Structure 1
Amino acid sequence: MAINPYVTAPEFEAHPTYLDLGDLRSGIADPDAQTAELENVLLMASSWADGECNQPLAAHQLTLATRGRCDAQGVLHVYPTDRPVRSVSKVAFGETVGAQTTLTSPAYRVEQNQTILISIGAGAARPGAWLYVDLTYIAGWVTTTLTAGATAGSTSLTVADPTGILPGHRYRLWEPGVEEVVTVSEAYAPAAVTVPPTATAIPLAAPTTSDHTPGGGWSGMPSDMRLAVVNYGVSQLMRPDTAAEDSYPDTPLASGTRQKDPRRDGSGLVAEAVRLLHPFARRM
């Protein structure tokens, strides 16, 4: 389940949706209340995307209790559930449950995002033996927001959740009107993941080119994934003026009149969102 929307309210408002977003909460004039409701819709759309892909899409740390096999070179083969794998912080292995050897910061390699190869050392286990494995790793795509403003020329940016951010990697700042790509300094050393996350200053390889405000989006998510969230959000906000425009006429929420209408306007956006997410879905 998504904890924060994968697309911020300002980003959604800047997208050419052609929707009136000023009256999401009818009868309430406070613009902050309207923004809060839009954020709720975007959070639900983000959680829907998680469900469509059968895994959390935002970068997250998990500990996987599984089994793996050791080869003759002392390399442990483990198959992750959540993908893509960003980093591996700890592995515990052994032929007996409860009698395991633990390695922190192990040497590893991810092959085709399907297998994690972890060096445990020749002789650490019998070649070909199946081992009980507890694997702690980070998977998913970085999605967070800035917690502090920054001026053009800044050499660091502070984010709400640094989970998954890696040295040398490039991320996009999606703040409308001042979008830019930033590269994390190779000197950045990711800290241990905390719950709740700890706001962290991320050093940059090159200064920013624009001013940025708190709440601006910092993302490593593919554009198609974010567009799917936007499309699904739009489908939920489409309000039919007449029965003929109702996108969900056959649902229990529809009136008796609308249940007779065969058209599905908003469902086309949902279908497009499903198509966009298909390459990222985990096969069960």
Structure 2
Amino acid sequence: MGISYLIHLGVIISIFVILGVSLNMALGYTGLLNLGHIAFYGIGAYTSAILTTHYGYSYLVALLSAAILAGCAGLFLTLITGRLKGDYFALGTLGFSFVVYAIFLNWTELTGGSLGISGIPKPNIFGIEISSNFSYLIFTLIITTLICWFLYKLAHSRYGKLLEAIRDDEVGLQSLGKNTSKMKYQIMALSAALAGIAGSLYAHYITFIDPSTFYLNSIIIIVTIVIVGGLASIKGSIAAAIIILLLPELLRFLNLPSDVVGPGRQIIYSIVLLLILLYRPRGLFGKVDI
């Protein structure tokens, strides 16, 4: 395992940290089991890729557009599923992810269909091209750190306490005159926008995307990160992302055939998730039981 591969892992882990902490704001702090988070990740990736490859926009414009469009999608999803509670909300958001996946797969003129979009350019910011993997790692770490810092401050603010109150007793909070629906719209839009940023970072790092990247296997990883790290814990999601993405790399040292490594990763995720649910229901640093 060379230094170049470790740098690659660092970039991927940073992206999944963003996905984990952003989902935790909706799930851990607000109690919204959003299984459509992967759709926002995909919307961000495709928005950024299409704007830069098809229309020649700069990376900063594409990144901002990815966040805005994903955030609007999150707001739209909450508007149509806002009356649903618990498992019904989860199923509604999961259905949304299938719809978005179908759009990626079938709108071939825009998304390339199953062939995806290739030749996505590396970011160029104010004339500085982030072309090497090491420079991309630094760039990604800066964005990830800023996002984690912002969410940590938000979670420990008065607004963050109101989000936790929605999770614990929404009816009680409403009786105090608080508009819980408005706060849920806001946090879902924010969570989705951050997932869109993660999607943009991924697209311009790999320089190729296709619909398979944004299917169910990825949402399983993201939810596992949140559960293992603990609900309502930013540092837990950071630690869990590192653990969850590094553990399967141990399979590389066993010299297993490639057709075994893929299923092996899913088995590892399942075992870790099962052990956490059985022996540490609050996760590594969680504040509430799963």
TM range (shorter): under 0.3
TM-score (norm 1): 0.27
More helix by share: 2
Q: Indicate the structure whose relative CO is greater, using CA pairs within 8 Å and at least 6 residues apart.
A: 2
More strand by share: 1
Which of the pair has more CA radius of gyration?
A: 1
